[in-house]
Amino acid sequence: MARFQRYKLAYVYAALEPHIDGKTMEIHSEKHHQAYGDKLNAALEGTKWVEKELHEILMSLDKVPENIRATVRNNGGGLFNHNHYFSILSPDSEKAPVGQLAEDINLTFGSFDTFKEEFSNAGINQFGSGWSWLATDENGENLHVHGHPNQDNPLMHNHIPVLGMDVWEHAYYLNYQNKRPDYVASWWNIVDWNKVEEIYQAALQKKVMSY
């Protein structure tokens, strides 16, 4: 069995319709996500890095040998980001943050709506492919929103990821074609806020949720 594995969905591919169609989910998970894992495993095979957790590798990319660093950044980032993404989506969304995260989003951004706007805009305005992320700093403090290109994520800046939205076209093109803002608006209907709160509780303890 390969060292690094993709997270398998806890629901059927069509479960998120009409917000994301089943065919997009299937291709996204079985082709794109699978390929990131395959390429990461191939790059790290026979190195000491297979003994590390994925998030530890992404937090120390500067120590990864230069000849495989870009491959590990792109595909390790891709594997982690999609493990996160597929684990925080659900057909049974609470539609709004819960627990400590709900309180801290209000404290930091003023309201859930203000946060949603900032997070959505970071995704909509990301030039080319990338992600919108809510993260804490390395101490589990200072919630902030940041857009990242390609498969980069907060770990590469020593921050702790809390919530990530994929804005690559492969995440939405079958339903939405070029209309990224429509996908972003619909995406809020399928966020599993109980799961995001679990990730945030770990972040408060300076821990990265592993998969």
Peptide linkage before 65 cis (omega within 30 of 0): no
- Residue 166 within binding range of Mn ion, rule CB under 5 A: yes
- Residue 109 within binding range of Mn ion, rule CB under 5 A: no
DSSP-based three-state secondary structure for 190: helix
- Residue 192 within binding range of Mn ion, rule CB under 5 A: no
Provide the phi-psi class of 196: left if phi over 0, else alpha when psi is between -120 and 50, else beta: alpha
Each residue 135-154 as x (binds Mn ion by CB under 5 A) or -, in order, gives --------------------
- Which residue in the block uniquely carries the two structure tokens 């291709």? 27
Cα–Cα dist 170/161, whole Å: 22
Which CB, 10 or 98, lies closer to Mn ion? 10
Span interacting with Mn ion, options 64-72, 89-97, 106-114, 164-172, rule CB under 5 A: 164-172
Cα–Cα dist 64/84, whole Å: 22
Cα–Cα dist 136/162, whole Å: 7
Q: How far is the CB of 192 from Mn ion (least distance, A)?
A: 17
Q: How far is the CB of 78 from Mn ion (least distance, A)?
A: 7
**Are 76 and 70 in contact, with CB atoms under 8 Å apart?**
no
Span interacting with Mn ion, options 58-66, 112-120, 136-144, 161-169, rule CB under 5 A: 161-169
**Are 184 and 167 in contact, with CB atoms under 8 Å apart?**
yes
- Residue 168 within binding range of Mn ion, rule CB under 5 A: yes
Tell me how many residues contact Mn ion (CB under 5 A). Answer: 3
Which CB, 37 or 140, lies closer to Mn ion? 37
Cα–Cα dist 123/181, whole Å: 9
- Residue 4 within binding range of Mn ion, rule CB under 5 A: no
Each residue 170-189 as x (binds Mn ion by CB under 5 A) or -, in order, gives -x------------------
Q: How far is the CB of 170 from Mn ion (least distance, A)?
A: 5
Tell me the residue ranges of DSSP E strands in 32-125. none
Residues interacting with Mn ion, by CB under 5 A?
166, 168, 171
